Structure 1
Amino acid sequence: MSKPAALLLNLGSPDSTSIPDVRRYLEEFLSDDRVLDIPAWKRSLILKLFILPKRPAESAEAYSEVWTDEGSPLIVTSFEQQKLVSEQCDMPVYLAMRYGNPSTADIVKQIVDDGVTDLFIMPLYPHYAMSSYETAVVAAMDEINKLKPSMKTNLLQPFYQDDDYIEALVDSAKPHLEDDDDLLLFSYHGIPERHVQKSDPSHAHCLVRDDCCVTPHPCHATCYKHQCLATTKAFIDKIGIDQSKTAISFQSRLLRDPWLGPYTDFELKRFGKEGVKKIKVMCPAFVSDCLETLEEIGMRGVEEFTSTGGESLTLVPCMNAHPSWIKFLSNRINKWEQSLGAETKTLSSAT
């Protein structure tokens, strides 16, 4: 007998703000060859000599700025999302993190032990990137294939311009955009330029030509930059903002390799110097507020902008537990369940 379930996948957080916990988390995260996609010996050397000696203490201090009484904002919000989605679905909804806890390995084991036969895997990333969407899916499938290869799986595709996702994004952001500020900045999580090029199956389009993101091409199915631009355009069209009062940038770069630009921290300083006084910042690559939104933009970003002449920077919250976002997720699960029922009926009639 079929027993379906859904699995929500997100990035993760350290277990606490202690330096050992943050170090453990960073080591797991940065040891992923889809995040630091360099030879293993070089990755290990960089971690041991340059990143892990100092960064855990710096990151622990940053995490302490946003940590709540309940724990990590990302984890707390993700569990709230799981609870609300579960209430609108007739099947179990599990939650796992790519790094840290609840770990993908532990939750997949629980899913197998619970007798699930059909699993809908739902990476909570609107856009495709090898360092987020892809690695989360691969980690989950590795565990499934190890423990129960007979399990049937389906996958939520990147939903960067899905009408219902854009509507949820607009619904959650609109109340925070009522003031007539000078600029709305869409700040997306950055990735190295080489990740974009690696994800281009043709290896002859992405970042090869200046108009690569707006010229239709099959590689857009796995092009992070194109998908970020598509989300921005769809949002602007839906909400009706003057495009001349918007901008796009990319944040959270690591090491010295070329990353997608323009860089958010550079742009915030430039805007302040050029006389922009009031700015709002949205982070559509994140569905839940986390260190990268609350601290990097809501604290450091404010300082970067105001230190060069800006007056105020307001962080627009992520969708978090907004009803439209919860509805988006639960509707996708319910539609998948309906498709399972239709498939069962078809098989029954065929026999």
Structure 2
Amino acid sequence: MSKKVILLTNLGSPNSFQVRDVRKYLREFLMDKRVIDLPFLSRWLLVNGIIAPFRAPRSAKKYKTIWTKEGSPLIVLTQKLVEKVAHATGLSTYMCMRYGSPSPKVAFEKIVSENPNVEEVVLFPLYPHYAMSSYETAVEHVKQWWQRGNYNFKLTVVEPFYNHPLYIKALAETIKPFLEDEYDHLLFSYHGVPERHILKSDPTGQHCLKTEDCCRQPSGAHKYCYRHQVFETTRLVVRQLQIPDNKYSVSFQSRLGNDKWLGPATADVLSQLPMRGVKNLLVVTPAFVSDCLETLEEIRQEGRETFLSAGGEKYQHIPCLNLDDTWVNTIAKLI
């Protein structure tokens, strides 16, 4: 019976690739005010009247291409990660999802049932970088269920680890084997966010996106700036692997809607690189620690097709950290 237990939290996934389950998942995901930050009525009409009905069938087809016999890759990988973290730490370890199942409520009930003397739950968000639509919403969601349950145990939250030496080492070590063969370019593709999210998260109200080099200028805003943090992750990994400046770049994927998002867009970069002489491309997706729809379908499948159709010759998506032992040990040490 552990007095201290670990709770991993990740994005979530539909229960199946059937349209009805994907539609339900999309509604929960997109109705999150930290994802689509519009007034409730406008958000409800947009999600339920336009996005979910039309996007669900297309998304269902995409989920079907990555679904395994065990289920959703993200759910399966997180379940296996729970087992490995428990083994590495010697602590009871559980998981919950921001959207879908299992919910924080289910996780907390299981924790209390199996650990009646629990005094502390350490929440480890599986997001290296701070963003209101990922790390922040996941943490706040868990906190709300913790407060509603009036539990006796303390809830401790692990902060974003985008620049932690152990995380950088783990990420670099997963990339390194792919650099041993000849390659032209390494693309760091991060999940995109609207620029207004960056501005909303700026506690100073006067730093983010005000100048071209704002992410390189010291500021208290960096603690909450997704753009700064992904650039810093890239800088540290590139330095550790000694990758020349002309052999890597950063882009942002998974856009939704017509608002201005962080750029350049990954799809645009993939179609332009062959025209710049890049024929042999590596792509890594460090915003995700577990392979999922955005990495397996959007980058590994669609990205490959875009690059090769534009004249590229060789394309390799580098898997996420997933169940890598160095990554598991990193989680154990961060906790």
- Per the alignment, residue 257 of structure 1 pairs with 259
C-alpha offsets along residues 207-238 of structure 1, whole Å, 9 cap, x if unaligned?
Answer: 11111100010010010000000000000011
Could you tell me which amino acid in structure 2 is paired with residue 217 of structure 1?
S
CA contact (8 A) 1:109 1:147 kept: no
Residue 119 of structure 1, CA deviation: 1.0
- Per the alignment, residue 349 of structure 1 pairs with none
Of stretches 190-199 and 48-57 in structure 1, the one that deviates more from structure 2 is 48-57
Task: Give the Cα separation in 1 of the matches to 2:219 and 2:182.
Answer: 37
Q: TM-score, normalised by structure 2?
A: 0.97
Q: How many residues are paired up?
A: 333
Could you tell me which amino acid in structure 2 is paired with residue 95 of structure 1?
M
- Per the alignment, residue 36 of structure 2 pairs with 36
- Per the alignment, residue 302 of structure 1 pairs with 304
1:304-343 paired onto structure 2 within 5 Å = 304-333=306-335
- Per the alignment, residue 18 of structure 1 pairs with 18
C-alpha offsets along residues 291-347 of structure 1, whole Å, 9 cap, x if unaligned?
Answer: 1011101110011111111112110011100000000111223xxxxxxxxxxxxxx
Could you tell me which amino acid in structure 2 is paired with residue 25 of structure 1?
Y
- Per the alignment, residue 282 of structure 1 pairs with 284
- Per the alignment, residue 212 of structure 1 pairs with 214
Could you tell me which amino acid in structure 2 is paired with residue 93 of structure 1?
T
Task: Give the Cα separation in 1 of the matches to 2:77 and 2:281.
Answer: 26
**Aligned in 2, Cα 1:2/1:183: closer, same or farther, shift over 3 Å?**
closer
Task: Give the Cα separation in 2 of the matches to 1:259 and 1:276.
Answer: 25
1:70 aligns with 2:70: yes
Secondary structure at the aligned position of 1:11 is classed as strand
CA contact (8 A) 2:252 2:263 kept: yes
Task: Give the Cα separation in 1 of the matches to 2:176 and 2:66.
Answer: 24
- Per the alignment, residue 162 of structure 2 pairs with 160
Cα RMSD between the aligned structures? 1.3
Task: Give the Cα separation in 2 of the matches to 1:86 and 1:4.
Answer: 12
Name the % identity: 47
Task: Give the Cα separation in 2 of the matches to 1:328 and 1:56.
Answer: 36
C-alpha offsets along residues 21-65 of structure 1, whole Å, 9 cap, x if unaligned?
Answer: 111111110010011111111111111222111111100100111
Task: Give the Cα separation in 1 of the matches to 2:94 and 2:69.
Answer: 23
CA contact (8 A) 2:2 2:91 kept: no
Residue 111 of structure 1, CA deviation: 2.3
Task: Give the Cα separation in 1 of the matches to 2:203 and 2:110.
Answer: 35
Task: Give the Cα separation in 2 of the matches to 1:58 and 1:83.
Answer: 33
C-alpha offsets along residues 92-130 of structure 1, whole Å, 9 cap, x if unaligned?
Answer: 111111111112221122223343221111001000001
Residue 273 of structure 1, CA deviation: 2.8
Task: Give the Cα separation in 1 of the matches to 2:152 and 2:34.
Answer: 26
- Per the alignment, residue 169 of structure 1 pairs with 171
1:131-146 paired onto structure 2 within 5 Å = 131-146=133-148
Secondary structure at the aligned position of 1:159 is classed as coil
1:222-233 paired onto structure 2 within 5 Å = 222-233=224-235
Of stretches 147-156 and 89-98 in structure 1, the one that deviates more from structure 2 is 147-156
Task: Give the Cα separation in 2 of the matches to 1:155 and 1:244.
Answer: 38
Residue 13 of structure 1, CA deviation: 0.6
CA contact (8 A) 1:35 1:131 kept: yes
CA contact (8 A) 1:172 1:324 kept: no
Of stretches 189-198 and 109-118 in structure 1, the one that deviates more from structure 2 is 109-118
Q: Which residue, out of 191, 200, 203, partners 2:202?
A: 200
Of stretches 281-290 and 173-182 in structure 1, the one that deviates more from structure 2 is 173-182
Residue 136 of structure 1, CA deviation: 0.6
Secondary structure at the aligned position of 1:81 is classed as helix
Could you tell me which amino acid in structure 1 is paired with residue 321 of structure 2?
M
CA contact (8 A) 2:2 2:92 kept: no
Could you tell me which amino acid in structure 2 is paired with residue 248 of structure 1?
V
